[in-house]
C-alpha cells in the first residue's frame, strides 16, 4: 500500500516535470507543489488535463 502510494507520487512528479519541459515554451508552466502533486497522484492524468484547462480558461 505504502509502496504503491510512493510510486504514484513519483510518477506524478515526473509527469508534471515532463509537462513543464514542454510547456515552458508556451508559458503554460504548472508549478510542482504539494497541491498539484496530490491532485495528480490521486486523480491521475485527467487531473493534469484539468489543471491545463484551468490555466487556459482562468489565468
| Maximum separation of any 2 CA atoms in the chain, in Å | 38
Q: Are 48 and 37 in contact (CB under 8 A)?
A: no
pLDDT of residue 59: 76
Q: Work out the number of other CB atoms within 10 angstroms of the CB of residue 27.
A: 7
pTM given for the model: 0.82
Segments in the chain below pLDDT 50: none
d(CA 36, CA 38): 5
Smallest CA-to-CA distance from 19 within 7, 31, 9 is with 31
Amino acid at each position: 500500500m505504502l509502496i504503491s502510494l510512493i510510486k504514484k507520487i513519483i510518477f506524478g512528479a515526473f509527469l508534471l516535470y515532463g509537462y513543464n519541459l514542454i510547456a515552458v515554451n508556451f508559458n503554460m508552466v504548472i508549478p510542482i507543489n504539494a497541491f498539484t502533486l496530490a491532485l495528480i497522484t490521486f486523480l491521475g492524468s485527467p487531473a493534469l488535463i484539468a489543471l491545463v484547462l484551468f490555466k487556459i480558461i482562468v489565468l
